[in-house]
Structure 1
Amino acid sequence: MRSNGNGNIAPPGSTYKDKPSGALLTVNAKWISWVHTTVAYTAFISALLVGCSLHYHKIVKNEFYGYPDEWFPSVSATIGDRYPERSFFQFFIAITSGPRFALVGLWYLLTAKPGKMLPKFVGSMGLLRTITCGGWTYITSTDDHDWHDIFMISYLVLTIPWTFGCLALSPPNAKAIKYRKYLATAFFGTIVPLIYFFIQHKVYHVAGAYTTYAFFEWSLILFDVAFDAVTALDFATFEIVVRDVGGLSQGENKSRVPTKVLEKEKSNATGGVFDAKFSWKELFDTGAEVYHGFVFWSMLTSLGVVIWYFPLWHMGISGYEALVMSTISPLFLGVKSIRSLVINNLRVCHFLSLAGLLAWMIKDPAYRLFTVGFGVWMACLSWAATLFSDNVHEARLESKILAWTVGLILSSTVKFAWWTNNPIWPIMHAANGGKNEIGLALAVMAAWRFTRRAPLNTGVAPDNTVAGSAFLSALGIGGLFFGLHSLLSDTSTMILWVWEGYPIKGPLSTTHGWLTVATMTAGLLTGISHPRLVSTWSGYGIGCVGAAVLTSYHNWLGYSGALLTAFYLTAIASPLLAQAAQKRPATTFGLGFLIYNFVVLFHVWVVAYAFVPGGPLVREHTDWVMITMMVLIGGGVWNLTSTNARRRESRKPFPSQTQHRKYHSSALVLINVFFLISAYFRFPANDYKPYHEDSRVLTAGIWTIHFSLDNDMYSSEYRMRDLIKELEIDVVGLLESDLQRIIMGNRDTTQFLAEDLGMYVDYGPGPNKHTWGAALLSKFPILNSTHHLLPSPVGELAPAIHATLDCYGELVDVFVFHSGQEEDPEDRRLQSEYLSKLMGSSPRPSILLSYLVTEPLRGNYNTYVSPTSGMHDVDPSDWDRWCEYILYKRLNRVGYARVSRSTITDTELQVAKFVVPKGDAEKATVAALESDQQLRNRKVKEHEVPEGWRFPAMFRGKGVRDHRYHVFDEPLYYKPE
């Protein structure tokens, strides 16, 4: 044997540069990488040059702007549909496929080791990634938009394991590792501004934003291809016959940098996720733990919704509110015999907690509530006992804590994918998007796997020498669970706290919700890896600043506070829970959940003050709620800081990486990817059209939706959607629509309705404005909207929206308003005067969609319908109204109908049709009718009005699904002459 010239031993009879015996051709494998890189770049650059030369103005034009506002084409516009640039691209990209498959195969041969699963996994990801690349390059969005998107999303998702897998498997080559780190960072770092500028273009219609987006899109292509080009540095010692003449596949290291140093650098680049040996057992354990944590949060977040149903229908305290105390079951762990019984039968207890998932099958609302309450009771008892039973094993305890907290992030993500409903809640079923059967089946399997290990601490009282106060720990647990539940159980909650209307100046629930999940993920991982760092008073101060900014400010500044709050709450969760598990569970979790319950009631009282004893004392004091939350958490931090100070010298360092951390980190990555995929499919189209554009008809409706719970305690979004769609409503005001509280499930009905119906949405005054909610959905663009809180010195706050719409090129103002309750006449009088002046201040055509609590032609009615407001009643002869009214001015009212609610809510849907006048002549005609009431209210038969003015015939007679025209038994039509 002799050296090949590089310090390695060559086989006898050969040299490094000679062709192997019998070989017809010897090619260094690095040329595969160079050919792939060259041809791939040629495919894109040739298409760009040809496209700019032949069709420049066409390929820089998008649906909103063209040259000179947009002056650089996107990748999709360049390689898409035009000849010959599309042909240039597809010609060269087809040639690229051969080297690409070879590159993936060579990478597998280079990295494959006996008994290692990771090289096989990464190789399969590279193969699938190559196939999906062919899908989106040969099927353009014009050919088949859905399949183009499916292949593109799949390609981007597969890029994640391919990139991190290549980093993890990198041979000990310092230069290659460095380039891969830089290029991977650049690739993933580019995605954030890419999404930002796409939103600026698609949602906000900012001129020039698409050009900036295009530069980031092209950068992704350059970084993506360059990342794979780095393989040339690793393939330099491969020759194609194929023989490994460098010995890298056998683990030899020719680098001057020590292998251990390079391996550590690889570990840092990948976060250590791929360092551990793959284990199917650990994989199943992690999946079961995370899903079981998801089930806990699903049941806990459902409890408030099913409780809320009863005071909602009783219009006051019903007695069922006592079930909120279902969470205090860990108090019973203070009895030694019960604690021992529970801990020694944890599997039984966890299985009994799944009763909460069976509740959807129970039709009677009261029994369903009791079933959910029992499930939550057993869940809180079981989890507290589980954490206590594992407190003597640091790794097992941390694994359970991660399961609990990652389960919360999964719950928030699943809620986002289901438009803020959880598919396994008891208010869901097959008819409204529920997946209860699948959820229950997975829960049974997860609970079985979750409880497979025997408890380590079998019920003996914890060591009294453990530092810290159990009472302070309970304070921290109470504040922590309230913060996690009230602010982080849905990604849209804090976004709606800072929502201020149109034009949009802050985040949107559909397009920016992932930032909350990403921040929660970062906070949780920081709390696990650096528990002492986040357990300091400086960390607590950052959390307090975040909570204060969230409470005090709006738009992006307020949302920055929301992200700080999300980061801190998830970061401090692990240290607080870990310490609570070391103490008596009856105190830390039992008392902790009791405190949590009182804060939950506190945060409901601030808006429900008109219906509860002592309510006026805390009226509109969300700031007090946030202060209470942070003070409680401060008690837990005080406990942590004193404990850390005492143990600083003696405590052994916590391992930086353990097996379960890697699997839970991988679960977090998958959850984030799932969120981003859901966000892609939920991205707003913003190209909505009214139903009768040719007739210039605007169909407007008002509906009090009773918090989206029907009479049978099921979520009513789907049924509402169907009726609104079938009535062809273009603009609808929704009242009692603010569901962003624990007691209402932290939901947002408007998201589902807006996306499914294709409408713009203004949520109205946010949850921190202490109203029951007013929302506006519109087929027409909302140019501007202002939120108002009307005078309410005694009773509940009265919210209002004043929005300006672009209706067929004309500006039309729409007011959505919910007045105070009947018991407070002075409030209602002041509100009528305020709103009358507000409507009168608009010189434009206007519509009021409202809940007025007054009789027709009497009392405050004559303030709303008055010379001050300039508004007219949609039909003064309709004597059967008390709450809902539609008023208008400077529009041609052509139809009016009242449609029965079925069992969706407690209030009918009222609808009116208007024709938006066009040109001076039509506007003058409408203006002339303003002063002639008799002519304005002249009724005609349906056959006398055009087809586009008519209401759907399907609701005549008995109607459909218990929806029918009622009171008048048919719609009313008007045709003044």
Structure 2
Amino acid sequence: MPTLKDDSPNGVIVAKFNAQWISYSHTLVAYAAFFSALAVSCWTHYYQIVKNEYWGYPEEWFPSVSATTGDWYPARSIFQIFIAIAAGPRFLLVYLFYLITDRPNHVYPKIHAIFGVIRALSCGGWVYITSSDDHFVHDVAMITYIVATLPWMLGTLAIGPDNKKALKWRKITASAFFGTMIPMFYFFIQHKVHHVAGAYTTYAFFEWSLILYDVIFDAFSLFDFSNIELRIVDIKSREGIINAVPEKSKKSKKYSRNIESMFVYGSWSNLRGFVVDTYLAFVYWSMLTSLALTIWYFPLWHMGISGYEAFLLVTTAPSLLGIGFIRKLVSLNHGVFHLLSLVGIAAYLLIDPAQRLTVVSIGVAISTLTWTSIWVENSDSTCKLERHALTWSLGLILSNVIKMAWWTNNPIWPVMHKENGGWNQVGLLLGIIASLEVMFRKNGEKIQRNYPEKKKSSSGSWFIAAAGFGSLLFALHSLLTDTSTIIRWVYDGYPNTGPQPIPWGAITIVAMSLGLVLSSYRKIVTGKPWYVVGCVSCACMYYYPAWNGYYGGLLLTIYLMSLVPTFIGVVSQHPPGRTFFAAMMTYNIFCLAHVWVVAYAFVPAGEYMREHTEYILFAIMAFIGLGIRNASTNYTFKHLQLNVLHLNRSLTRGGLAITIVLGFLVAFSRIPSEKPVPYHPEQKAFTAGIWTIHFALDNDMWASEIRMRDAIKELEIDVIGLLESDTGRIIMGNRDFTQFISEDLNMYSDYGPGPSKHTWGCALLSKFPILRSKHHLLPSPVGELACAIHATLDVYGQEIDVIVSHNGQEEDELDRILQTTELARIMRESKNPFVFLGYVVSVPGEKIHSILINNGNVHDIDKTDYDRWCEYIAYRGVNRIGYARVSHGRITDTEIQLGKFQIIENYNPETWQASDNRIQENEVNEELRFPKQFKGEGVRGHKYHVFDEPRYYI
């Protein structure tokens, strides 16, 4: 090879080539790996690779990536060989990109390169460890690869060289990559959960498109490397010299897209501070959402106003900022006050509920005071203020993701502890570390004014600003503190229930993120057209069930999140004392109204708010509209520095992208993989139960889902009605305990009338498929509104109807008569066998109970049991085997009632008759008996009581 000489006498160039060939070789070899495997697999094992656990050819006719590359020889070996060859160019690609973006004292290029290496290594993990070798390791490597791809792509867009063509195509490819995940996810669910024929083939096409987008995204590095030449030098020769890449000091401006301006404030300390503030915002939202939940415990047990409701007023603590020395004290010690607020997280250490509530209230007061102080302190700098508004909003979204991972409970709530899945210690430790970081954080870089200050002649109305922010805060709390809340608002009966919380809760995360991204476009979000969109979407969510209502809810989610930075900016510019007092009182009034629409029977003048959620929605949208008008004409931009603003928004978008991916991973991990199976299919028997569970908050104010699950599982209950189950409100923490129990026990679920229907709720869990269901609002002209679910189940191939119902309280006899009459009509008109599981509020044999049994044409499960008061089980068209009553074990104040039944082959309603003949337990097939462990002292406080043992019949 001829020697190429350079001016320096340090070596001989033995070879050189343009760095673009790194991109070319990686792209060609990577595509060769996948598509050669596809061709060979289709040629050698076509029918095997298109077959899945449910369908084969011709329903499924195109293979997935994993089936193509990991299951069969020789395609698997060919694929692995090409991937091994591609590893060299891939690592070189990561290294070269790091070299052209690195700057002294800048951490982002290094972090980006680390993710690139993790991505390459995890690729080797899922390529060389197939699902048949080790399914868990394969899945972990695949998930790691997908998660690492997110910061890799976003980082490439953020710090890549200033090449318009590369930037354009990378944006298109990245958008296509992440956009494809949503339909791919949808068709995977159709295949895995609903077993739809052909869905896996459609899924496979989306999966293969991800491969195309992933590889071609890295291929656009050829534009970055076009002016780079790699040379191999013999350093022992003194006839020539070359540097592998141009010296950093000689880089042309066209290699980087204004990197200095982007990262002058982009040091590790800024990234660390952003993460810390986001976590502290998560802590704030965790404490705020726990306040009403812990308050609710007391009126729940008092069955009326308890006095503890006054603790809600601690949210007005920011009014103390109107006192000068307090404002100064908090302003100078944000880290200290963040640390003090953590008593709200440490409250779980207290056993007594009243003490726990008191400490939680202190934490909420201090945290709310601290955050509003931060806003007020930074009100003279739009960049700083928006940064804190963004982290505050990102903390809300993060709390949604974490709640979705914990089945709608927050692991650091004071109703959680180690025994029921709490991570309070971890949350408290991280909070302490975050608070210390704020305490010792450097005061930050001085911001230079490089943008003219815009001044307005008027600062607008402080009261309208306060009312607007208070209304927005209430809307966020009531609708967007859990991914399932809007879904439950619009939930309807089978088969058209609308979206399920899993996986569609992940789409709520996407909508919240889109709204926060849109918030930077101030002219749009404060415009009249966008406000009209918000009002229409709110109306759609309230008035339309199922999918149409959910679409309205998603659009409303985007709308509300888009307003947050603007409303915080406006409210912080006014005198803090009176402004934040008015704002938080607006929030508090809406919180009370939000309770009164359903709890009207227990509060004075409650009849005026009875079932009028539309009043609340109209009021908050009206106040928000006034706030928007105020903001559009009076919001002042101050000390606006564009590079800092860009950095804040870039960090936010990166955080949002991470939360979106985490949301989808959580949703994906929670999708059930198996069909529910009843406990005794051989005998074609089933156990049905009824239980009033007091909103999944036990007698000692701990979340009770795990203990409820254990009782239901050990009692082998196939069908159970759960009453007082609507926890999708502020006062119940916006939770949905049915998700955890139904997923953990592998049961179908029907939530019943949602939070927008103003009942205390009823839910149905079933090991048998729910064919049809209808949600009823029973006649209630005077008292509390009663609810019912009338469902048709497929029980061993036979249709059996079930009603789960909750009648009104004892004081309103007319209501209970009308409600029971309607329940009887539903049962009487059904031609199927029937099981009634309800809360009737009557003693056996009295008027209301007789209406149910006689007019409903059903049989009481045990006429001789006169000790009952509210809960009843009745039946028709099935063989009654046994009846039992099980104590609640301090989970609630109401027992579990159980009936054990067998289906009747060729059921004839004209000839069926019930028998009241009782038999001894030893006369019953052992597999049809109730579990033994609940005899005597039982387990965990659950035992057979009243009779001391179950009763059996023939």
So what's the TM-score if we normalise by structure 2? 0.92
Distance 2:108 2:633 in 1: 43
Please, which of 669, 678, 690 is the counterpart of residue 681 of structure 1? 669
Give the C-alpha shift of residue 335 in structure 1.
3.6
> What is the DSSP-based 3-state SS (H/G/I as helix, E as strand, rest coil) of the residue aligned with 1:800?
strand
Give the C-alpha shift of residue 735 in structure 1.
0.6
1:46-65 → structure 2 map (5 Å cutoff)? 46-65=36-55
1:429-444 → structure 2 map (5 Å cutoff)? 429-444=417-432
Give the C-alpha shift of residue 337 in structure 1.
4.7
CA displacement, residues 448-499 of structure 1 (integer Å, 9 cap, x when unaligned) = 333557999xxxxxx9986111111111121011111111111111111111
1:272-421 → structure 2 map (5 Å cutoff)? 278-421=266-409
1:552-567 → structure 2 map (5 Å cutoff)? 552-567=543-558
Please, which of 619, 623, 627 is the counterpart of residue 610 of structure 2? 619
Letter matched to residue 694 of structure 1: E
Q: Is the 8 A contact 2:159 2:257 kept in 1?
A: no
Q: Is 1:591–2:582 an aligned residue pair?
A: yes
CA displacement, residues 308-340 of structure 1 (integer Å, 9 cap, x when unaligned) = 001100111111111111111223333445444
Please, which of 707, 728, 753 is the counterpart of residue 741 of structure 2? 753
CA displacement, residues 497-549 of structure 1 (integer Å, 9 cap, x when unaligned) = 1111322452221211122222222222322x222431233332222122111
**CA distance change for structure 1 residues 524 and 167 in 2, over 3 Å: closer, same or farther?**
closer
**CA distance change for structure 1 residues 46 and 505 in 2, over 3 Å: closer, same or farther?**
farther
Q: Is the 8 A contact 1:282 1:660 kept in 2?
A: no
Q: Is 1:220–2:210 an aligned residue pair?
A: yes
Q: Is 1:771–2:762 an aligned residue pair?
A: no
Distance 1:134 1:808 in 2: 47
Give the C-alpha shift of residue 767 in structure 1.
0.3
Give the C-alpha shift of residue 819 in structure 1.
1.1
Q: Is 1:259–2:259 an aligned residue pair?
A: no
Distance 2:857 2:693 in 1: 28
Residue 39 of structure 1 aligns with which residue? 29
CA displacement, residues 800-853 of structure 1 (integer Å, 9 cap, x when unaligned) = 111222222222222111111111111111111111111223222222211111
Deviates more, 1:763-772 or 1:870-879: 870-879
Give the C-alpha shift of residue 36 in structure 1.
3.4
Letter matched to residue 885 of structure 2: R
Instruction: Name stretches of at least 5 consecutive residues in structure 2 with no aligned partner.
Output: 234-240, 445-454
Q: Is 1:912–2:899 an aligned residue pair?
A: yes
Give the C-alpha shift of residue 346 in structure 1.
4.5
Distance 2:330 2:248 in 1: 53
Distance 2:271 2:644 in 1: 20
**CA distance change for structure 1 residues 681 and 208 in 2, over 3 Å: closer, same or farther?**
same
Distance 1:169 1:289 in 2: 24
Root-mean-square deviation over aligned CA pairs: 3.0
CA displacement, residues 828-886 of structure 1 (integer Å, 9 cap, x when unaligned) = 111111111112232222222111112223322222223x5332222222222111112
Deviates more, 1:854-863 or 1:303-312: 854-863
Distance 2:682 2:85 in 1: 51
Q: Is the 8 A contact 1:30 1:231 kept in 2?
A: yes
Deviates more, 1:819-828 or 1:389-398: 389-398
CA displacement, residues 80-138 of structure 1 (integer Å, 9 cap, x when unaligned) = 43444434433443443344344434444555555443333232222211221122223
Distance 1:906 1:277 in 2: 58
Q: Is 1:607–2:598 an aligned residue pair?
A: yes
Distance 2:766 2:27 in 1: 49
Distance 1:706 1:61 in 2: 47
Letter matched to residue 896 of structure 1: Y
Q: Is 1:953–2:932 an aligned residue pair?
A: yes
Distance 1:518 1:575 in 2: 20
**CA distance change for structure 1 residues 249 and 760 in 2, over 3 Å: closer, same or farther?**
farther
Residue 129 of structure 2 aligns with which residue? 139
Deviates more, 1:108-117 or 1:356-365: 108-117
Residue 830 of structure 2 aligns with which residue? 842
CA displacement, residues 624-673 of structure 1 (integer Å, 9 cap, x when unaligned) = 010111112123223212315xx69x997866734444334333333333
Q: Is the 8 A contact 2:265 2:644 kept in 1?
A: no
Q: Is the 8 A contact 2:261 2:643 kept in 1?
A: no
1:925-936 → structure 2 map (5 Å cutoff)? 928=911, 930-931=912-913, 933=914, 936=915
**CA distance change for structure 1 residues 40 and 632 in 2, over 3 Å: closer, same or farther?**
same
1:467-486 → structure 2 map (5 Å cutoff)? 467-486=459-478
Q: Is 1:11–2:6 an aligned residue pair?
A: yes
So what's the TM-score if we normalise by structure 1? 0.90
**CA distance change for structure 1 residues 424 and 249 in 2, over 3 Å: closer, same or farther?**
same
Q: Is the 8 A contact 1:343 1:455 kept in 2?
A: no
Q: Is the 8 A contact 2:336 2:439 kept in 1?
A: no
% same residue? 50
Please, which of 512, 525, 530 is the counterpart of residue 520 of structure 1? 512
Give the C-alpha shift of residue 172 in structure 1.
5.0
Q: Is the 8 A contact 2:380 2:639 kept in 1?
A: no
Q: Is the 8 A contact 1:697 1:948 kept in 2?
A: no
Give the C-alpha shift of residue 619 in structure 1.
0.8
Q: Is 1:669–2:657 an aligned residue pair?
A: yes
Distance 2:876 2:477 in 1: 45
CA displacement, residues 574-618 of structure 1 (integer Å, 9 cap, x when unaligned) = 111112111111122111101111111011100111111111111
Give the C-alpha shift of residue 140 in structure 1.
3.1
Letter matched to residue 848 of structure 2: N
Distance 2:100 2:586 in 1: 58
Residue 578 of structure 1 aligns with which residue? 569
Distance 1:123 1:38 in 2: 22
Letter matched to residue 544 of structure 2: Y
Q: Is the 8 A contact 1:761 1:776 kept in 2?
A: yes
Q: Is the 8 A contact 1:782 1:804 kept in 2?
A: yes
Q: Is the 8 A contact 1:350 1:378 kept in 2?
A: yes
Give the C-alpha shift of residue 142 in structure 1.
3.7
**CA distance change for structure 1 residues 525 and 903 in 2, over 3 Å: closer, same or farther?**
same
Distance 1:150 1:110 in 2: 32
Q: Is the 8 A contact 1:531 1:574 kept in 2?
A: no
Distance 1:398 1:770 in 2: 37
Letter matched to residue 767 of structure 2: K
**CA distance change for structure 1 residues 842 and 446 in 2, over 3 Å: closer, same or farther?**
same
**CA distance change for structure 1 residues 306 and 89 in 2, over 3 Å: closer, same or farther?**
same
Instruction: Name stretches of at least 5 consecutive residues in structure 1 with no aligned partner.
Output: 5-9, 15-19, 457-462
CA displacement, residues 678-736 of structure 1 (integer Å, 9 cap, x when unaligned) = 22222233522222222222222111100011111111111111111111112211110
**CA distance change for structure 1 residues 453 and 391 in 2, over 3 Å: closer, same or farther?**
farther
Distance 1:289 1:424 in 2: 17
Q: Is the 8 A contact 2:853 2:860 kept in 1?
A: yes
Distance 2:699 2:292 in 1: 17
**CA distance change for structure 1 residues 142 and 704 in 2, over 3 Å: closer, same or farther?**
farther
Give the C-alpha shift of residue 911 in structure 1.
1.6
> What is the DSSP-based 3-state SS (H/G/I as helix, E as strand, rest coil) of the residue aligned with 1:910?
strand
Distance 2:922 2:133 in 1: 44
Letter matched to residue 216 of structure 2: A
Distance 1:455 1:388 in 2: 17
Please, which of 474, 487, 498 is the counterpart of residue 495 of structure 1? 487
Distance 1:325 1:464 in 2: 34
Letter matched to residue 622 of structure 1: T
Q: Is the 8 A contact 1:342 1:349 kept in 2?
A: yes
Distance 2:310 2:100 in 1: 64
Residue 884 of structure 1 aligns with which residue? 871
**CA distance change for structure 1 residues 79 and 873 in 2, over 3 Å: closer, same or farther?**
farther
Residue 449 of structure 2 aligns with which residue? none
> What is the DSSP-based 3-state SS (H/G/I as helix, E as strand, rest coil) of the residue aligned with 2:621?
helix
